[in-house]
Each structure stands twice: as C-alpha cells, then as structure tokens.
Structure 1
Amino acid sequence: MRIFALICLFTGINFVAYSQTVSLNAKEIKKLKAWIKQDAAAKNTYAQFEQDGVKYLNEAPNPLDTIRTEGLLKGNPKKIKTWLGFKDMDKMYTLALLYRLTGDQKYLDKSTSFLLSWAKINRPNGNPIDDTNVDKAVEAYDLIKDNLAVKDSEVITKWLAETAWAEVNSVRMKPGRATAINNWNAHRLKVVGEIAYAIDSRELIQWTIDNLKSHININLYADGTSLDFKERDAMHYHIYDLQPMLKLAIIIDRAKGSNFYTYESPKGASIKKSVEWLLPYMEGKKQHEEYVHTTVQFDRDRAKNNEPGFAAGTMFEPKMALPVVELSVYFNASQKKLLQELSNGESMQSLTNQIQRESIR
C-alpha cells in the first residue's frame, strides 16, 4: 500500500472524484437496463452481447508484453499476434458491462482477471498508435473500478498510469517531430485523457486539456481541413485524426468541462469545423480519390502490399466516416439521420452511445 501511495503522489492520481465519465455511470446503466427490457430490438442486441460474454467466461486472457502494430504491414507476424491479443479488450469490456447490467459476480471476476493479466504483463512503450487500442480496457476499468478489491485496483491503476505517462514522456512527442502534431498526437491525447479521467489524475487531466487546445490550433485549419488530410490526401486520415479528438471531447464534456467540439483555436480552427467540412463527403455530395498525392511512404507501401483501400485513386466510401458520425452526433443531433444511413445496424456500442447522448447536460 505504501508503494502505491507513492505512485499516486508522483502520478497525480486522486481516487475517485469523477464518477464514470469514460463509460456509463450508474444512472445511465439504469436507463440502459430499462431500454433493454422495453425495446425488442435492444433486447435482441443484448441477447447476442450476453451470449458472447458467457462464452468469454471460459476463455483465458492472452496479454502481450509489448503492443506492436504501428508501421507494420498487413500479414506481419508481430501485427497478427498483437491483433489476436487485442481481442481481450472487447472481452474484458463485455464482461464488465454485463456485470453492471446483471450484478452477477462471475462477470466481475472474469473481467478483473483479464485486466489484471494485462496489467501484470504489458509494458507500455509510449507509442499512441499502439496504445490507442487499449480503449476498451480503460472503459472496462471505469465500469467496475468501484467494485474492485483494493489490491486489484492498485495493480490495474498503476498499469494505466504508466501507459499514460509513457505517452506524456515519449520521445515521439518532442518538438520538431511530425508525430508531435499529426494524428499520432490526437491518439496520444485521447489515450492520456481517457486514462486521466478514469483514474482521476488531475495532473494528467490538465496536461490533456492544455495539449488538446494546442493540437486543435496546430493540426486543424480554419477551413475545416487538417494537417493529416493535407499530408496523406486521404479522408481516411482526416477521420483517423478526428475520431480520437471527438472521443476525448465527449469525455471532457461528460466531466462538466469545456465544450471542445465548438472550441476555436487562435487560428480559428475547431473540431466542429473539421467535422462539417467532412459532411458533404459523408453524405455522398462530394467525392474524393484517396492517397493520390500522399507524401507518406507507408501509404505507398500498403498499396503495394494490396491492402484494401490504400491504392492511390481509391474512391472514398462514406461508410468509412461512421466512427466520426457516431461521436459527433453527441454534440450535433441534426446528424442523427446521417448516422442511421451509414449505420451497420444496432450494436451494444450504438446503444451505449445513444444513452450517453441522452444524458447530455
């Protein structure tokens, strides 16, 4: 306990002033339970979700000591191994949410087992393109943090704090590096921010807010375009940049912070403007040929590797923008129709997203 107290001192962790802002809070869980009980479609969606969770009860965790996806082509053995390990993230989240919905201890125990396995083995390396995939682990922790044994909470929180601080102190975000201002930084901010609010680290929260302001100013432009779009000539990367910023903006808003969707930088840039610039392409009113003028060799390497969607001249598909619409509709309800048009059908994620939207302050 004394060691953990020192970790809290040096990482700025203060338990747990924020209720669930990364995941659903108690009031929202209650609403979700009522929705599942009353709505036939939601009930069917939940039934499949529960079926998956029951299956996960009999599966063993597959934690990785090092996450490795960034810069690797499809088919690379290290990338394949990592994506197999990432399946644990959905499993621990599913089990955590099932515990909150049912109160059944077996789901809590199994979700905790997955989280502890990763916390004890995984060592973060400060690469945001790799770490961005721990979303569901953070959400799982946030869902069950008030129900964990103290010793288990200490282990998991230490791992999450180490992951966040590895990003803050990473050489990849040093001034002058492209990875300090492009989509890497958007994902870095999301990783640090979601962990900061989950573990209630005031120091990390303030770092996130300060750096989100500067990122919007550097990475987004007043005309709605982005640095990543200009470098990659691809909507794919404009979306990949906006998605983590939108997720972070929602978490901050849920914590009663500033509205970073409408926040404008000194240069007149905003997440809102960059979403609205994308709208005609999402609606199919405008078209774009992807990667024709990309300046990044990795894009060309993936095209040569025959990875779908990366060949220069590939037409942008509006459905690729679904992650942006699913998040931006939180701030702009007028996009609900577009969300329905692009949606692949109801899922537990879409249900939880809607619950969060309905709880906007």
Structure 2
Amino acid sequence: MGREVVPATTVRVRVADAMKRPGASFAAWLFACAGVVAPLGSAHAAMNFCAAPAMQTSERTSAAPIAQGLVKRVAARLNDQPKALARLHTEGTLPHEGIYDQSVEAQQDLELMRDAALVWRATGDERYLRLVDRFLLAWTTTYQPSFNPIDETHFDSLILAYDMTASALPVKTRNAATAFIAKLANGYVQRVDAQPRPLSGTYRNNWESHRVKLVAMAAFTLDDRKLINAAQRLFIEQIGENVAADGATVDFAERDALHYVTYDLEPLVVAALAARRHNRNWLGERAQNGASLQLALDWLVPYALGEKTHEEFVHSSVAFDAKRREAGLPGYSGPWDPKNSAQLFHLVARLSGRYASVALRLSPMPPAWLAVCLPLPAR
C-alpha cells in the first residue's frame, strides 16, 4: 500500500487538534502526524535516508521524548539567517587560528538545515521547510568546494536536508542543490581515481572514509548510477586499504588513538546506511584481504565496553596530535572514554541489531537527530 499524502493544511489542523486535547503530550503531537512524511510527496529524492515511509507506531513512541527538544531548538532559530561562507577550514588548525572559529560557527548552519528538515518531515509545518529552503539556497550558491574532506565532512547534513525536502523545494533551490551535490561528489571521485595505486597517505586513512561518506550519500540521494557504482567501488577499496585482516585500522597504527578509529569508522557506517536504503549490505562487504566494516567494528567493541583500555596518542606519528595535546584540547591525552563512540554505535545499531546493546550501554538515547531520523535499531 502507498503512504498517505496529506495536504499541509490538514496536517496543521491535526496537530492543533491533538495539542488542544486535555493532557496532550508531545507523543500525541507525533501521532497526529502519523502517515505524513511531507506534503507534495509525489516527487522525492531517491535515498530517503531517514525512516520512510512515515514513522510506525513504535518509532513515534521512541522518538517523542527526544524529538521535543529538537523541535524547541529549531523553533528558536526559525528566523536565523544563513552564515554561508565560500570556504570552510578547520583541518590542521587550532581554535582561534585562521578561519577556524568562523568555520565552526558557520558549520552550525548545516546541522540546523538537517534538523529543520527532520522537524518538517514530522510535522508538515511549512515554516521549517522555508528555513531549509533559505539555508540550502544560500550555501549551495555560495560555497566553493575545496575537496578537503575534513573541512567538508559536515556537508553530510546538507545532503540529508535536501534528501528529506527535495519533493517540496522551489525549483531554483532544487536545481542549485542537485548541481552542488553532484559537483561535490564527482570532484571527490575524480581526485581519488587520479591517485596511484595502492592508495597511500590521506587517501587510505580517515580522510578517505569521509570522502567515501560524501560520495555515497550524494550518489544515493541523486540516484546517479555512475556515482553509486563509484561509491561502492571506493567503499570496498577503503575497507581493503584501511582495515587489516584482524580488524585494526590504519588510523590506529598511525595515531595510536581510538579517537581516530571512531572518526574513521563513523563515516563508513553512514555510507553503509545510505546504501542500505537501496538494499545494499555494505556492513559485511569484504575486501580482497578479507576485511570488512563489521570486522573493524567488532575490533572496537571490547574498548567500547570497557573490557580493554587505551592511553590516547602516546605513540602518534602525527605532530599535530602533540600540538593539540600541548594546547590542552580534551581527548588528546589520557585514557580513551568509551562514551566518545556512542554516536558511532547508535548509528551502526541501525544497520545491525547486534550492536544495539553496546550503543545503549554507552548512552541510553541516541543523538537527537538520529532519534528522529531512525528511531529504532535494526533487528
């Protein structure tokens, strides 16, 4: 059966009626939105990364408590104006150096876009769609890709925002967004393919994981067959280059830090979640050396559970790690805190239920955006 497509005016009436009832809760608000993903649902982005079609009863129940906080935060910023920049740069710099602070502030726009799209998806309230439209158009017509994946990794939030709202965006915004997303993804593919094989340096460490994430999300959102094939090829190549047969990553060897294992694996999990929407199982996909994303995650599990511990960055081969430690940035010395992998394991729990208990042990609730996007772990 197809999902119900409900006009926006009907959505607003349903929500208002639900909230007028005595003792109305935020759960009632979500239930009022049952069956509504977005008005104008005939045309849509191809990926639908977040739970689709509309939330099931159990999903709405799970999402309600944390979604309330998300809605309040976005509602407070409905009148914000975009801080779009032509360039972002945080990689290799400390706070207050160069444009680091300005970039961090501007990056908040990308997450706001994503969160506003999630709230619009749940409510049908067009004020949130207008926020997404305003911010998407500003960023996709201002920003010039540098193809530095550390500086640009947060553009996954922009891609998600487009994915959830493409059906209802004005043509001008939709065209600008699709052109930008395609330019970003194709640029990364071209740069990776121009490298000599076997890949080395930042083309096999965490940088490449972030490239793969952006390419995969763009490919499945745009439903671009050529990009999808490239994304799968680069994903498998990165697994083979980055993950050893025992599950240890290149980043652990280079940085002597579980911080970078998490940073390396999280974008690969997001890429696998994008692929899952097209019935592709990248979690267990094996490279020629027998390695897989699942194998790398299983390697990390004992540390996440506290069965093993690790002193961070003691033998890192990267000078910048020592610079950050000397600057007093948290996490660059001392024992690794397993809670730093909470988002990673809540994400991977959406791929495989076998990781749900690890995620819940690290944090009883997933990040707010994920609780609304994909409320329940996989079975």
Contact 2:47–2:223, Cα closer than 8 Å, also in 1: no
1:89 aligned onto 2:116: no
- Show structure 2 runs of 5+ residues with no match: 1-42
- In 2, distance between residues paired with 1:171 and 1:128? 12
1:118 aligned onto 2:139: yes
- TM-score by length of structure 1 reads 0.87
Identity of aligned residues (%): 30
- In 2, distance between residues paired with 1:92 and 1:353? 13
Q: Which amino acid aligns with 1:238?
A: V
How many pairs does the alignment contain?
Answer: 336
1:264 paired residue among 272, 283, 286: 286
- In 2, distance between residues paired with 1:223 and 1:18? 38
Partner residue of 1:337?
Answer: 357
- In 2, distance between residues paired with 1:324 and 1:84? 23
- In 2, distance between residues paired with 1:147 and 1:17? 8
Q: Deviations over 1:243-272 (max 9, x none)?
A: 111111111122112x22112211111111
1:286 aligned onto 2:308: yes
Instruction: Specify the SS of the correspondent of 1:169.
Output: helix
Partner residue of 2:336?
Answer: 316
Q: Which amino acid aligns with 2:327?
A: N
1:199-218 maps to which residues of 2 (within 5 A)?
A: 199-218=222-241
- In 1, distance between residues paired with 2:370 and 2:108? 19
- In 1, distance between residues paired with 2:83 and 2:45? 30
- In 2, distance between residues paired with 1:315 and 1:98? 38
Contact 2:136–2:158, Cα closer than 8 Å, also in 1: yes
- In 2, distance between residues paired with 1:112 and 1:353? 19
Alpha carbon RMSD of aligned pairs, Å? 2.3
- In 2, distance between residues paired with 1:217 and 1:232? 19
2:78 paired residue among 43, 57, 61: 57
- In 1, distance between residues paired with 2:200 and 2:356? 38
Contact 1:173–1:185, Cα closer than 8 Å, also in 2: no
Instruction: Specify the SS of the correspondent of 1:290.
Output: coil
Q: Which amino acid aligns with 1:210?
A: R
Partner residue of 1:5?
Answer: none
Residue 171 of structure 1, CA deviation:
7.4
Q: Which amino acid aligns with 2:116?
A: L
Contact 2:45–2:163, Cα closer than 8 Å, also in 1: no
Partner residue of 2:326?
Answer: 304
Contact 2:44–2:166, Cα closer than 8 Å, also in 1: no
1:31 aligned onto 2:56: yes
Partner residue of 1:349?
Answer: 369
Q: Which amino acid aligns with 2:96?
A: G
- In 1, distance between residues paired with 2:194 and 2:69? 41
Contact 1:224–1:274, Cα closer than 8 Å, also in 2: yes
Partner residue of 2:49?
Answer: 22
Contact 2:339–2:362, Cα closer than 8 Å, also in 1: yes
Residue 339 of structure 1, CA deviation:
1.3
- In 2, distance between residues paired with 1:339 and 1:205? 29
Partner residue of 1:13?
Answer: none
1:100 paired residue among 116, 121, 133: 121
C-alpha spacing 1:353/1:112, structure 2 compared with 1 (3 Å): closer
- In 2, distance between residues paired with 1:315 and 1:159? 41
Partner residue of 2:212?
Answer: 189
- In 2, distance between residues paired with 1:221 and 1:308? 29
C-alpha spacing 1:42/1:269, structure 2 compared with 1 (3 Å): closer
Partner residue of 2:253?
Answer: 230
Residue 19 of structure 1, CA deviation:
3.3
- TM-score by length of structure 2 reads 0.83
Q: Which amino acid aligns with 2:340?
A: M
- In 2, distance between residues paired with 1:99 and 1:264? 38
1:328 aligned onto 2:348: yes
Partner residue of 2:160?
Answer: 139
- In 1, distance between residues paired with 2:300 and 2:307? 10
2:187 paired residue among 135, 146, 166: 166
- Show structure 1 runs of 5+ residues with no match: 1-15
2:270 paired residue among 233, 236, 247: 247
Residue 210 of structure 1, CA deviation:
0.7
- In 2, distance between residues paired with 1:195 and 1:211? 14
- In 2, distance between residues paired with 1:18 and 1:357? 23
